[in-house]
Structure formats: structure tokens, C-alpha cells
Chains A and B, each alone.
Chain A
């Protein structure tokens, strides 16, 4: 158990609202191993984002147990266990790209020298070298999201939590960023938890796909991908790929995700 990056057992989270309790997560058992790329897929309300937020200690579970790097999420957060990428790039508009990427380093008290080196290295990693002095509004949506990924990579967290990071981008940019993300994952050996509601995206990126369904939010299928680690974009036309995608679709149907 100790080598699991994330391990949840019988995890549940119920929000109390004016319309009565909402079971965002119910009886979730799951483990994420080091170096895995895990996608969470399901319709809205299935708890995929909530699960990511529980890992990040942005929400407190109401039942069950969860450990991140072998400790509770709050301790893990304080130990800077993860970098979080939000759906919107959430760059601070008054900071240049380099100062946005440097924000976590500033807060965590890195030296100026170290900060400079890390900014240069991570911007290089997401192909944004040369844009250091630009403000966010001067960049395209895809570039902004890359900058926000650089920001999550700037400090040495081994776990990268990504909440629909490419959801707001058009498909052409998304394909490109997916490819880049795989390369980056290969280069950095990070563990990645990735929330999406695109089946091709989930299948293309992941070593493990967690299919979730709503009301209550729960895991309906966990699929270990048999695709090789090296994945050119055209692997998406291969039979293997389509078979996995089909199984994801089946999982969604079994969870009654296509109802209503």
C-alpha cells in the first residue's frame, strides 16, 4: 500500500444543500500507482472533479479513508505533494508569464537563483521559452493553459492533478496539447490524475481509465489500457484504441450515464 500515490477506500462525500443532501462520491475504492496516467471520465455530476479536489485537500470527505503519498491529504498538501491545473488557466493577469510560473516558488521560499532556473526549465518543457515577459492576455488560450501547466510543474511535486485542463480549447489545439502532455509525462515520470469528459482524450492519454457515473457519484469501471507507452496521434485509428474506447462507452452506459 505504501507505494501507492493515491489510495482511497470506501470514500464518500455528501454535500448538504438546501434541496437536501447531494451524494457527490459514494463508496469509491481506488488506487493510483507511481508513474501512472489515470483519467477520470464520466458525465457532469459523477464526482470526478470532486474526487480530484479531495486528493488536493480542497474538499473534505465525509466518510471512508484516503491517503496521498501514504499520509492524509492535508499533510500531503502541506508537504507540496502535488501541482494542480484548473479548467481555466487561472493565471494572475497582473503577472507576466515568468512571474506566474514563479508564483508557487515565491510562496514556497525558493531562492531567486533557483527560481530563475526553474522558470526557464519548466517554460522550456511546455515550449513557451521566449514568452517570459508577456502578460497572459497576450497569449492564446492554449498557450495560457501550457503556462498554467508549467506553473504546476515548477516545484518538485511528483503528482500532477489536472481538472479538464483542455476542456475549453478547440479540438485542434487539444490534440496538439495531448501529444505534448504525453511527451512531458514521459520526460518527467510524474504521476498524473486527469479529469476529462472526452472519451478519445481519456483513451489516448491514459494507462488507466476510471469510468464514473452520477447520483450517487461512484466508480463503475476501471480499465487498464493495453496501448504502448509511445503513442503517435494516429494510434487513435487502431483497433486496440477503438476497443478500449468501446469499453469506456459500455462502462458509461452501465452507469446509466446516457439516461435522461
Chain B
């Protein structure tokens, strides 16, 4: 579908979301306004109620414009170095995300290569890889932080390792499938040339696995961000989007929570988009047939 054909449906959905959001704002913040009016011994009119619910200092549910205003203040107006700048906190989280993503990708690829080439690893590693993902990350994150702290590692790396813990999984699964994707004839061909295992890997298995790799990387980068944020929650981190979420919830700063949430969501979308662009760039370089081309 072309860009023009998408705009109207997207805008329609967005408008619906905003309408529902504002309806909820009035509905959820109204009890507080009624209480206030009752304590002051006054009646409150409907239009007054609506306007009040949208401009509370600590609303149950902040209005969209309040979140937007807060994000504008903390992203654009604040200096990047300020402890209240979301760019500063975003960068802290992003650096852990990227480091964890890189380590996770490398680990995932290495494990997949081992699984594909070694029978013993094929039988033994995969069940552990799957088991690792059945443990809730919230349970294991504090352990990782504590254990690494005990051996003198703190700061960026422990958080990154939690990202790694989540992100290596889709890479292993995708790459095992990708490295095994060459068909019988393609592999037989290599055999007729008496190609070495390394030659078969670099000239056949690796290029065949590229579409699988990038599909996995899109998932991996998004959950790397989740991992980094989760890594900031149980550790009393003072900086990062996770720390902003936590501090916001301690002090009832709902507007701050929602701004951090939206920043994280936008960050995730941008990261996934970058991986997507890399995906189409690489496949184009590999001579992929353009979509819709005649055969």
C-alpha cells in the first residue's frame, strides 16, 4: 500500500485514541474534583469539571497535552546534562540497550553457529536457551545486578547484560533457522566442489541467513530496550528512563511517568526503524528482487 493510502486510516485511529484518552481523563480524574468541591462546600459545573480534570498537577491519568508539554520541557528546553532532561535519561538507557544488543547479537550468532555445526551442542544447548526465557526477567534482574556488583562490576555493564539476556534469544532461534535454510541441492553443490565447512558457511549458510537475522534483530533491539529499563527498576538506579518511571511512581508524578513511557516507546520505534532500514539496505545490496517486479 502506498503512503497516501495509509495516512487516512492511521490518522483515524490516532484521532479515536485521543478522543478515548480525553474521555478517560475526565472520567478518572473527576472523583478528585468532586471531593475538592465537596470539601470547599461548593458545587462544580460540568464545563468547570472538564477543564479542571485536564489540568491537575497530579492526575490519576494525565491529559495528552500535559504529557506533550512535559516532554517538550524535559526534552527540548532542558540542557542535555541536566538531571531532569529526558535526553540525558534516555541516553543512559539507550547506551545500556545498545551495548546489551551488540553483546546479545554476538552471543546469539555464536550459539547458533555452534548449534548448527555441532551435534552435541544441537542436543544440549537449545533446551537451556528456551529455559532461560521462561524465568521472569523481573526475578532475575536483581540477582544479576547483585552478583555482578559483588565481583566489582557496576554501572552500564550489568544493565546491558540484562538486555543481552533477553535479546540473544530471538537471535539464536532466528539464526539456527537461517543457517539451516539452504536447500539440499545448494548444500550438495558445495559438497561436489569439496568445499570446506568454513567455505560452506561463508559462501552459503551466512548469506542465506540474512533475512532471518534481520527479522530477529528487530525483535532483539526492542526487547533490549525493555531489558535496560527493567534493569534500572530494582536497583535504585538514579538515572535512566527506568529510574524516571520509578521516581515518578514514588512521588505520584504521573505526568513524569507518562512522559518517560512515551519517550521509551518513541525510542523503541526509532530503533526498530533503523534496524528495518539496515535490513532493506543489506537485502538490496544482495540483489534481492524488488517487490512487485515481474519475473
Interfacial residues, chain A to chain B (CB-CB below 8 A): 56-58, 77-78, 80, 82-84, 86-88, 90, 92-96, 103-104, 106-108, 135, 137
Q: What is the CB-to-nearest-CB distance from B211 to chain A, in angstroms, rounded to a whole number? A: 10
A88 to B183, CA, bound (A): 11
Tell me the minimal C-beta distance from B63 to chain A in angstroms: 51
Q: Interface centre among B189, B204, B210, B295, by most A CB within 10 Å?
A: B189
Which residues in A have their C-beta under 8 angstroms from that of B194?
77-78, 80
| Chain B hits for A135, CB < 8 A | 287, 289
> B195–A94 contact, CB under 8 A?
no
Which residues from chain B contact A80 at a C-beta distance below 8 Å? 193-194
B188 touches A84 (CB 8 A): yes
**Which B residues lie within 8 Å of A78 (CB)?**
194
- On whether the beta carbons of B207 and A86 are closer than 8 Å, the reply is no
A107 and B207 in contact (CB under 8 A), knowing A86-B188, A135-B289, A137-B295? no
Q: A80-B193, A94-B207, A137-B289 are in contact. List 17 more A-B contacts (CB 8 A).
A: A58-B191, A77-B191, A77-B192, A82-B192, A83-B192, A84-B189, A88-B185, A90-B183, A90-B189, A92-B186, A92-B207, A94-B288, A96-B287, A106-B203, A107-B199, A107-B203, A137-B295
Contact A58 B287 (CB under 8 A): no
Chain A residues near B192: list those with CB within 8 A: 56, 58, 77, 82-84
The residues of A that contact B207 with a CB separation of less than 8 Å are: 92, 94
Known contacts A107-B199, A135-B289, A137-B295; decide if A58 and B204 are in contact (CB<8 Å): no
A199 CB to nearest B CB, Å: 25
Closest chain B CB from A157 CB (angstroms):
9
Query: Which of B190, B192, B195 has the most A CB atoms < 10 Å from its CB?
Result: B192
Q: In whole Å, how far is B4's beta carbon from the nearest beta carbon of chain A?
A: 29
Q: With an 8 A cutoff between CB atoms, is B16 at the interface?
A: no
The residue that B287 contacts in the complex, of A86, A88, A90, A94, with Cβ under 8 A, is A94
How many residue-residue contacts, CB under 8 A, span A and B?
55
Nearest to B200 among chain A residues (CB) is: A107
Query: Which residue on chain B has the smallest CB distance to residue A74?
Result: B194
Is there an interface contact between B289 and A90, defined as CB atoms closer than 8 Å? no
Cβ-defined contact, B195 with A107, below 8 A: yes
The answer to whether A108 and B287 have CB atoms under 8 Å apart is no
Q: Which residue of A lies closest to B191 (CB)?
A: A58
Q: Which of A77, A87, A92, A96 contacts B204 (CB 8 A)?
A: A92
Chain B residue numbers with a CB within 8 Å of A90 are 183, 185-186, 189
Chain A residues whose C-beta falls within 8 Å of the C-beta of B189 in the assembled complex: 84, 86, 90
Task: Determine the residue in chain B with the shortest Cβ distance to A139.
Answer: B295
B13 at the interface (CB under 8 A from A): no
Contacts of B210 in A (CB 8 A): 94
Whole-angstrom CA separation of A135 from B191 in the bound complex: 23
Shortest beta-carbon contacts, A-B, top 4: A94-B286, A135-B287, A90-B185, A137-B289
The residue in chain A whose Cβ has the minimal distance to the Cβ of B287 is A135
Min CB distance A76 to B, Å, is 10
